[in-house]
Amino acid sequence: MTSAEFVLPQARKSDRRSPLSWILSHVVRHWWIVIVAVLGAIGNAALASAVPVLVGLAFNVILADPPDISRLGQIALLIVGSQMVRGILQLGRNFGAELIGQRLERDIRDELYASLLGKSMTFHNDQPVGDTMARATNDVREINLMFGPGLNLVVGSAMFLIVPLVLAPTYHPSLILVPLVFVVGYFLALWQYLTELSPISDAIRQSFGDLNAHLAETLDGIEIVKGTAQEQTETKRFVEYARSYRDHFVRQGDVEARFLPFLLIGLATAGGFLHAFLLYRIGSLDLGQVVAYVGLLQLFRFPAFVSLFAYSQVSLGMAGARRILDLINRETKLDQNPSGFVGDMRGEIEFRDVTFAYLGDSESSLEEVNFHVSPGQTVAIVGQTGTGKSTLTHLINRIYDATHGEVLIDGINVRDWNLAALRRQISVIEQDVFLFSRTISENIAFGNPDATQEQIEVAAHAAQAHDFIMNFNKGYETVVGERGVTLSGGQRQRIALARAFLTDPRILILDDATSSIDSATEDQIQRAIFRASQGRTTLIITHRLSQIRWADLILVLRRGRIAAIGSHEELMATSEPYRKIFMRYGDE
């Protein structure tokens, strides 16, 4: 199995074996920015240590008798100059971390979007849209924040841990003891902190995904919610998801409240001062060195305080990376078969002992289906709701693959076709028409983006859509609302028909595509469909008697099996299930 049915071309490759290797494979592309950020962090910490060292020297100058004022002025200028340079280095560190974060957010968002477009319908049917949106937006943003300010502060604070270890022994070798004990205690406390925090961060990101999934589902079904007056019930459910999200943050706060480095910095300051004072008493240190040493210990305050925020941000970023990589690596049995057959399609369709069951279903939706359709024939598929009519058509363009048996197009198993070549020559118009929030022209030309305006209008005329389009103020440049909500059902279906006509498919599948068309335009639409079916294989799922009558072949499905097959006249004479269906439709 592969992680996508379509592997879209990417200029950048990433290592997807683990979240850490995946992040690093993105970071190494910006190695020069990393070097700038690290050098800035090292210089920032080194120059931060210059202040206590120089203050210690100034202390001794002031205590001298008489004090050397010129020397004191030189020290003051050194402090000012060093901190100005430090500010520039801080700018480099912060800018580098922010730039890496922004570039990674861009690259990862592109990679995730390409991966989602390449996933099969099985994946998208199982994956809640709201959770996918949470991963594609909020989780990606958390990775950005993991670098700036997260890792920016982590690397910067690490340098502040090293400097006292290096400089303290220059005053007296034993002075390394307190900094060393603090650093060891700091990392032990940090290890315990991150161990507790990691599962909480995962839970925070997961609960946010659940919250977002519920919100998206509710808004998608808002018409049903309002139509059944369930606003209060849905509000209660949303509050439960929001409470779960909040509770995980409370748990994070509890872990942060027990963060030991806050205590350790106090103990280190007291212990270090006592140690330095004892050395001063025996003459091993002068007063300026005591001041400088205690000042160096104060550098530990920066890693102690920022680590509480920085490491939690890193933990959230890694949790987001795990969730994003989980989507990207999610496997599917479908693949694009790039080396498969890419020739022109004639439109011959054959099912050989085809059985299909949806993933997780114990019962098959289709069982032992066998039929043959010659190129250019029109086939009507009839049967009660739930008999597998739509499922059958989804096997033709490999939205799903047959569990058993073979589906052949022009004598070639659909698995052996190049998937893009297969689908480019098959157009499907679903009962629930989807339109993008774009212009009408862009919606019609979606399957053929290079189409001219003249070609778009010819397709619209053929679908009986041109007249109502021209009634809009902006005509073909009218922007339809999300999912086409600003159009009527019949208008959406006619635009979908125009979109199908424009691609000039060799196989046209109409899944009850005229169900929302009013009687006034039904005859015109029927003629348009009849013209469109000429010279191409057409499969129609319908209950319209007029469409059933002129079909060359009629498939009668019952409980996932073909109960009868033949022309209208043959089935009326030989098939009782067909006669019952036909009589019922005739009463509608």
Q: What is the pLDDT of residue 532?
A: 66
Residue 8's pLDDT band (cuts 50, 70, 90): low
| Structure confidence at residue 588 as a pLDDT band (50, 70, 90) | very low
Domain annotation covers residue 472? yes
DSSP state of 150: I
Domain that includes residue 424, residue range: 349-587
Confidence of residue 113 (pLDDT cuts 50, 70, 90): confident
Determine the Cα–Cα distance for residues 146 and 151; give it in Å rounded to an integer: 6
Q: What band does 293 get if pLDDT is binned at 50, 70 and 90?
A: very high
Kindly report the pTM of this predicted structure: 0.73
| C-alpha span between 529 and 34 (Å, rounded) | 61
The reply to whether 340 falls in a domain is no
91 and 59 both lie in a single domain: yes
DSSP 417: B
pLDDT in tens, 383-410: 877 888 888 988 998 888 888 999 999 9
**Cα–Cα dist 186/265, whole Å:** 9
Mean pLDDT of 441-462: 88
Max alpha carbon distance in the chain (Å)? 125
Domain identity same for 248 and 373: no
The answer to whether residues 24 and 125 belong to one domain is: yes
Is residue 337 a part of any domain in this protein? Answer: no
pLDDT band for position 479 (cuts 50, 70, 90): confident
Asked if 540 and 379 touch (Cβ cutoff 8 Å), the reply is yes
Task: Residue 207: name the closest of 169, 251, 166, 176 by CA.
Answer: 251
**Dihedral pair phi/psi, residue 385, rounded to 5°:** -60, 135
Lowest mean pLDDT among 242-256, 434-448, 528-542: 528-542
Q: What is the pLDDT of residues 310-363, one digit of tens each?
A: 888 888 888 889 889 988 887 666 677 788 888 889 999 999 999 998 876 778
Contact 9, 61 (CB under 8 A): no
5 located within any domain: no
pLDDT, tens only, 119-135: 777 777 777 888 888 88
- Tens-place pLDDT, residues 209-263: 888 888 888 877 777 777 778 888 888 888 988 899 899 888 888 888 887 887 8
Which pLDDT value is given to residue 173? 93
Instruction: Give helix then strand counts, H and E, for the chain.
Output: 23, 10
Number of other CB atoms surrounding residue 217 within 10 Å: 15
Task: For residues 206 and 254, state if they share a domain.
Answer: yes
CATH of the domain at 224: 1.20.1560.10
- Does 89 or 486 have the greater pLDDT score? 89
- Residue 317 to residue 310: CA distance in whole angstroms: 11
| Residue 297 counted as domain residue | yes
CATH number of the domain that 386 lies in? 3.40.50.300
- The answer on pLDDT for 560 being more than 80 is yes
Percent of the chain topping pLDDT 90: 15
The reported pLDDT for the residue numbered 10 is 55
Provide the pLDDT for residue 513. 60
| Residue-wise pLDDT tens digits, 323-333 | 899 888 876 66
Tokens in use for 497? 């028909």
- Shared domain check, 462 and 315: no
Q: How large is the average pLDDT for residues 190-215?
A: 86
Beta bridge partners, 565, equal 555
Same-domain pairing of 511 and 582: yes
Rounded CA separation 526/288 (Å): 97
Residue position matching structure tokens 């397709």: 459
